[in-house]
């Protein structure tokens, strides 16, 4: 295999890179020393790429326990003069926010760039929060690239900027950028080679003195002023203004693509002034003012919130009072959700009173949605969570007499699909670890619950909640859906895996040991694919007094298939003579490998999907499913 394009040392070569990979390339070009991350879509490929290349390039990478720890590790390295990067999805910054504040207040030594991958329209998130507000709250400069090329270039620039200013720098992407691929022209790779040493004068109470280090709000503001001054002449911000234009458009970061495509399609490239704005915070007010004072109307185009728009309105009040400011606040663009080329075409047409020429296909789309299923998400063929849920439902039915006898509080991960048919056994999920927390409030007021949490999520944010339950005598019932990997985001290791991000063996930290150390007396580990044993364990858990936990442990089916390559599993089959066509295996269990043969009126196993787990054998009431002969 040829080496990963992220590490090729051929300046000027054009390679195909995903936005997230381009960020890693930028960090490599900047000679980054330490990188950390916690996985989460759409950021995960950043860490996955670091994991692949770390050893070859001599940098250090880890998947940290959570985003806060990841940020702290990166900061520690920065204080010792080593360039560091930390990557996370937008909601990960909520977890790391507690440390971002002191980092920006105290400042950094070597460059520290952190990546926030925001997710407009919530393609794979529970919110479309705009993290530029969090950067503003913490006086952090923000770079918003518009393409993979800029994602690479600005990552490199971000390190230099961070060092010059003494502030952490946020590089903000959106899903469309993180996941797009395009040709990227490589730059030279800088040697790391910065001398390692703790910056005593910069960070030590003992050496620099407590008072000098403690109250720094004024210094932080001064740094931000310097950032603003740099952004006034920042080469990546582009103002196209020839004079006499009536309309101006500000395209922020990735949204700039929609602006330029819409102008091109409408043939308006020469008649409209525009500013490509890569630095939404701090806003280069002089640069923006040049546009605002030259036009009658300005449209601000950005993902997701009217972050720049609000600032532009405030600025216009003083320097261009008659200016009409349009965007997401004025209703010219939708207030929430991701933008698109179509939305920009429509907004431009509305503003200019022209018509958009794109053919409308909504009638055909309606016809299609009447004819065609939605293709709902489901757990994979052979997924052990399916077996766990099937057994858990049987146990709840037996103990409570009613499936509605418990509130099932789920958590973040593949197993969150417990709410999907045909299993339909989940009521809530909120944020990492919340299943264990909210279950306690319910239990305290007499509502029975099950906390349904994955192994990765348990390590990330479940442990304090578990300790809280034990110490406050709140008898919650916890099922850990332990598939021995962080499957949802691309099979990253958990602390239980026994292997680091860089592939080195390490100590395995077992969930049952943590639970027992936290004072949980009823802890069982069971293989969910043994449905009878799993159901019995769940029953004992439900009937136990005090906090009780069952760890349903079996390796993720997809990871198991990956691990056995190039071998393939031996599939199961349905004996068509024995099958009665009752459909229990489909209507109640619902493994995608069990398909319905219309002609025969019988279930059939799709041998290309079957993972050979055999759980369905126990579901069939007449014993019609068995393993196929081994060739």
Residues that bind another protein (CB under 8 A): 1-2, 14-16, 41, 123-124, 147, 176, 179-183, 256-258, 260-261, 264, 340-342, 345, 358-361, 364-365, 367-368, 371-380, 414, 417, 420-422, 487-488, 558, 583, 586-587, 590, 592, 594-596, 608
**How far is Cα 583 from Cα 602, in angstroms, rounded to an integer?**
8
Among 376, 469, 382, 446, CA closest to 417: 376
**How far is Cα 195 from Cα 181, in angstroms, rounded to an integer?**
36
CB of 534 to another protein, least distance (A): 21
Looking at the Cβ atoms of 260 and 392, the one nearer to another protein is 260
CB of 341 to another protein, least distance (A): 5
Looking at the Cβ atoms of 33 and 45, the one nearer to another protein is 45
DSSP secondary structure of 200-245 = HHHH-HHHH-HHHHH--HHHHHHHHHHHHHHHHT-TT-EEE--S--
Looking at the Cβ atoms of 372 and 631, the one nearer to another protein is 372
DSSP class of residue 533? Answer: H
Looking at the Cβ atoms of 119 and 163, the one nearer to another protein is 119
Contact 571, 578 (CB under 8 A): no
Pairs from 437-446 (Cβ < 8 Å, separation ≥ 24): 437/465, 437/468, 438/409, 439/407, 439/409, 439/469, 439/476, 439/477, 439/478, 440/465, 440/468, 440/469, 440/472, 440/474, 440/476, 442/407, 442/409, 443/474, 443/475, 443/476, 444/474
Among 474, 472, 467, 439, CA closest to 453: 439
CB within 8 Å of 3: residues ≥ 6 apart: 56
Looking at the Cβ atoms of 9 and 367, the one nearer to another protein is 367
Angle (nearest 5°) at CA 177 between 345 and 124: 100
CB of 433 to another protein, least distance (A): 21
CB of 311 to another protein, least distance (A): 25
CB of 587 to another protein, least distance (A): 6
Three-state SS at 455: helix
CB of 172 to another protein, least distance (A): 17
Beta strands in 244-350 (DSSP E): 247-252, 273-277, 297-301, 324-326
Alpha-carbon dihedral of residues 480, 508, 383, 517, nearest 10 degrees? -10
CB within 8 Å of 195: residues ≥ 6 apart: 81
Q: For residue 180, how many other CB atoms are within 10 A of its CB?
A: 19
CB of 220 to another protein, least distance (A): 36
CB of 421 to another protein, least distance (A): 6
CB of 254 to another protein, least distance (A): 9
Looking at the Cβ atoms of 8 and 97, the one nearer to another protein is 8
CB of 222 to another protein, least distance (A): 37
Looking at the Cβ atoms of 164 and 568, the one nearer to another protein is 568
**How far is Cα 454 from Cα 541, in angstroms, rounded to an integer?**
17
Looking at the Cβ atoms of 112 and 262, the one nearer to another protein is 262
Write the CA distances from 69 to 75, 81, 135, 335, integer angstroms: 10, 19, 19, 34
Looking at the Cβ atoms of 226 and 604, the one nearer to another protein is 604
CB of 131 to another protein, least distance (A): 19
**How far is Cα 193 from Cα 32, in angstroms, rounded to an integer?**
10
**How far is Cα 440 from Cα 482, in angstroms, rounded to an integer?**
21
**How far is Cα 177 from Cα 258, in angstroms, rounded to an integer?**
12
Looking at the Cβ atoms of 498 and 592, the one nearer to another protein is 592
CB of 96 to another protein, least distance (A): 23
Query: What tokens were used for 604?
Result: 């059939």
CB of 360 to another protein, least distance (A): 7
Looking at the Cβ atoms of 128 and 163, the one nearer to another protein is 128
**How far is Cα 115 from Cα 135, in angstroms, rounded to an integer?**
11
CB of 368 to another protein, least distance (A): 5
Looking at the Cβ atoms of 150 and 163, the one nearer to another protein is 150
User: Quick one: angle between helices 285-292 and 217-232, nearest 10?
Assistant: 50
CB of 571 to another protein, least distance (A): 13
Looking at the Cβ atoms of 182 and 468, the one nearer to another protein is 182
Among 16, 396, 472, CA closest to 6: 16
Among 274, 254, 290, CA closest to 132: 254
Query: What tokens were used for 475?
Result: 């008898």
Q: For the chain, what is the total number of helices (H) and then of strands (E)?
A: 24, 22
Among 280, 291, 239, 265, CA closest to 348: 265
CB of 382 to another protein, least distance (A): 12
Looking at the Cβ atoms of 101 and 378, the one nearer to another protein is 378
Query: What tokens were used for 517?
Result: 């150390």
**How far is Cα 438 from Cα 449, in angstroms, rounded to an integer?**
9
**How far is Cα 203 from Cα 108, in angstroms, rounded to an integer?**
9
Looking at the Cβ atoms of 234 and 254, the one nearer to another protein is 254
Looking at the Cβ atoms of 5 and 614, the one nearer to another protein is 5
């Amino acid at each position: 295999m040829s080496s990963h394009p992220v590490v090729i040392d051929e300046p000027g070569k054009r390679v195909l890179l995903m936005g997230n990979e381009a960020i890693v390339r930028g960090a490599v070009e900047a000679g980054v020393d330490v990188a950390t991350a916690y996985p989460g879509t759409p950021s995960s490929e950043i860490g996955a790429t670091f994991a692949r290349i770390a050893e070859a390039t001599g940098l250090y990478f880890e998947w940290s326990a959570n985003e806060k720890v990841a940020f702290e590790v990166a900061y520690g390295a920065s204080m010792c003069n080593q360039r560091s990067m930390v990557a996370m999805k937008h909601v990960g910054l909520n977890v790391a926010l507690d440390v971002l504040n002191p980092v920006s207040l105290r400042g950094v030594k070597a460059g520290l760039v952190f990546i926030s991958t925001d997710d407009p329209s919530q393609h794979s998130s529970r919110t479309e929060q705009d993290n530029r507000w969090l950067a503003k709250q913490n006086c952090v400069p923000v770079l918003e690239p518009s393409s993979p090329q800029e994602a690479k270039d600005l990552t490199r620039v971000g390190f230099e900027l961070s060092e010059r200013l003494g502030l952490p720098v946020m590089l903000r992407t959106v899903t469309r950028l993180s996941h797009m691929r395009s040709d990227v022209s490589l730059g030279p790779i800088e040697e790391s080679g910065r001398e390692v040493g703790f910056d005593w004068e910069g960070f030590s109470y003992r050496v620099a003195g407590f008072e000098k280090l403690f109250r720094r709000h004024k210094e932080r503001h001064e740094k931000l002023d310097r950032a603003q001054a740099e952004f006034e002449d920042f080469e990546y911000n582009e103002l196209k203004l020839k004079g006499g234009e009536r309309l101006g458009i500000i395209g922020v970061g990735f949204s700039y693509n929609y602006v330029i495509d819409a102008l091109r399609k409408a043939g308006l490239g020469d008649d409209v002034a525009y500013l490509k704005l890569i630095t939404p915070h701090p806003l280069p007010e002089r640069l923006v003012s040049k546009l605002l004072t030259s036009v009658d109307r300005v449209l601000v185009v950005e993902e997701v919130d009217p972050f720049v728009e609000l600032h532009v309105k405030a600025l216009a009040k003083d320097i261009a009072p008659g200016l009409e400011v349009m965007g997401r606040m004025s209703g010219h663009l939708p207030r929430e959700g991701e933008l698109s080329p179509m939305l920009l075409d429509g907004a431009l047409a509305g503003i200019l009173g022209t018509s958009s020429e794109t053919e409308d296909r909504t009638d055909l789309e309606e016809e299609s949605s009447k004819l065609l299923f939605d293709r709902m998400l489901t757990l994979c063929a052979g997924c052990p969570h399916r077996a766990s849920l099937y057994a858990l439902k049987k146990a709840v039915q037996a103990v409570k007499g009613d499936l509605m006898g418990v509130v099932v509080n789920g958590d973040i991960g593949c197993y969150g699909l417990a709410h999907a048919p045909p299993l339909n056994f989940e009521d809530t999920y909120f944020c990492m670890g919340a299943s264990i927390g909210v279950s306690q409030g319910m239990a305290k007021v007499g509502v029975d619950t099950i906390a349904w949490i994955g192994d990765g999520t348990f390590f990330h944010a479940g442990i304090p909640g578990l300790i809280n339950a034990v110490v406050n005598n709140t008898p919650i019932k916890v099922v850990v859906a332990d598939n021995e990997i962080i499957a949802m985001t691309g099979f990253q290791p958990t602390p239980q895996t026994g292997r680091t991000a860089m592939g080195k063996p390490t100590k395995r930290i077992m969930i049952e040991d943590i639970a027992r150390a936290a004072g949980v007396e009823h802890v069982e580990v069971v293989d969910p694919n043994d449905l009878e044993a799993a159901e019995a364990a769940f029953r004992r858990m439900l009937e136990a007094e005090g906090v009780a936990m069952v760890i349903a442990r079996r390796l993720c089916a997809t990871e198991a298939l990956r691990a056995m390559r190039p071998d393939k599993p031996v599939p199961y089959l349905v004996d068509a003579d024995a099958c009665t066509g009752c459909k229990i295996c489909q209507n109640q269990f619902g493994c995608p490998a069990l398909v319905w043969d219309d002609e025969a009126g019988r279930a059939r196993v799709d041998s290309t999907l079957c993972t050979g787990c055999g759980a369905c054998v126990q579901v069939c009431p007449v014993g019609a499913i068995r393993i196929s002969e081994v060739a």
